[in-house]
Structure 1
Amino acid sequence: MPNRTARTPAPAGLDDPPDIATMRSTAARILDFDAKPVSTEELETLRLAMRGQIELMIPTVEALAAGFPKGDIPRECALAGAREASMRLRLGVGGSRPVRMSVSMKLARSVMALCDHFENLGGR
């Protein structure tokens, strides 16, 4: 069987692409060092939003990656990013504000990575 070099079309269900700009904006609110501090309530709102974004993006990125041959570097990187994001979904909320902020920063980095993988795999 010859090696496949072109990716297959995006799977069904991606007709309504995720709002990457909003996801990046949400994550940037946590990761931007020049931003004004976030309140405890806003931090919780952002954390919940990012969890939802990750839950949306994991299967989306995995579906796009499935269109690439095994061993393809963008595919393998995207799948690794999806696995890492999945692990981060298992992080607890945290008791103290610094721990909650740390968890939120990890979620934000996963949101950004999944957005990058989505775009690198040809998602629109």
Structure 2
Amino acid sequence: MQAIAPEPALEEAPVDLETMRASVRLLLDPDAAPEALPPTGAQLDALTATLRGHIQLLAPEVQQAARQLTPGSIARYSVLGCVWEANSRLEAEPCRRYGGRVGYARRLARALNALVDHHEQLSSRP
């Protein structure tokens, strides 16, 4: 009987923070086009799905990095709070009271922006 060699582990590609920031800017950058209306319809649905995917990809990485910080530290508490907030945004639904679908997408964009900030800060730590 011939032994089957294990498959080599796949190397994970680094997250594309610049693409994530570009997605955030489409909803939150007032200097880009202050007179422009927010995306609607299929474009908004696609952008919302993109933001959700970015959060689902980045939140576990940021959480794992935060767990390497000193237990009980303010930095660790802050980063884990950000991860919790981002995950709670994923569980939420659009609500007319809070801006409908555009408001929901903007909340996702803010959560993603905070995750990217934390990822960059944690990546630059010695």
Same topology, TM > 0.5: yes
Q: Structure 1, residues 50-71: CA drift from partner, whole Å, max 9, x if none?
A: 0000111110001111111112
Which residue in 2 is equivalent to 1:6?
Answer: none
Structure 2 residue ranges without an equivalent (≥5): 1-9
One-letter code aligned to 2:72: G
Which residue in 1 is equivalent to 2:119?
Answer: 118
Which residue in 1 is equivalent to 2:19?
Answer: 22
Structure 1 position 15, deviation (Å): 5.5
Q: Distance in 2 between matches of 1:40 and 1:27?
A: 18
Fraction of identical pairs, as percent: 33
Structure 1 ranges of 4+ moved more than 3 A: 93-96
Structure 1 residue ranges without an equivalent (≥5): 1-12
Q: Distance in 2 between matches of 1:50 and 1:122?
A: 21
Give TM-score scaled by structure 2 length: 0.78
Contact 2:94 2:103 in 1 (8 A): no
Residues 34-73 of structure 1: pairs in structure 2 closer than 5 A: 34=31, 35=33, 36-37=36-37, 38-73=39-74
Q: How many residues align?
A: 111
More moved, 54-63 vs 87-96: 87-96
Structure 1 position 93, deviation (Å): 3.9
One-letter code aligned to 2:78: C
